[in-house]
Amino acid sequence: MANIVKLTVDKSTKTKEGNYSNKLIAPGETVQTAFGKVEGAKRTFYMFTDQMNEKGVEAELDLNDFDIVKREWDTIDEETQKEIKITITTLYPKR
């Protein structure tokens, strides 16, 4: 069964390896209830490609075609300047 998700490029940055790191945003799911619409949080994925992609470019991908790898990173929160731990979700082609 397909797991299609619509992704929008938020940022595409050239890496020191010569490829491009793409930050991709998937909208949250919406469920209609008797109390109104309930929206889930947006999801962020990263994908490395051989070309730069313009901000706003959209594409539909089947997540079943990718291995989804989650890694924790330590970084500095820009607002508070405190060290925080974040989880990065990267899409790699299934092998």
Q: Which domains can be identified in the chain, with CATH numbers?
A: 4-93 (2.40.50)
pTM above 0.75, yes or no: yes
- State the pLDDT confidence band at 59, using cuts at 50, 70 and 90: very high
Residue 1 is predicted with a pLDDT of 84
Residue 31 is predicted with a pLDDT of 87
54 phi and psi, to 5 degrees? -75, 145
Measured distance CA(14)–CA(89) in Å, rounded: 18
Kindly report, residue by residue over 79-90, the tens digit of the pLDDT: 899 999 889 999
Give the N- to C-terminal CA distance of the chain in Å, as an integer: 18
DSSP 34-71: TTEEEEPPPEEEEEEESS---TT-EEEEEGGGEEEEEE
Measured distance CA(89)–CA(11) in Å, rounded: 15
Q: Coil, helix or strand for 22? A: strand
Kindly report, residue by residue over 5-58, the tens digit of the pLDDT: 999 999 999 999 999 999 999 988 888 999 999 888 899 999 999 999 999 999
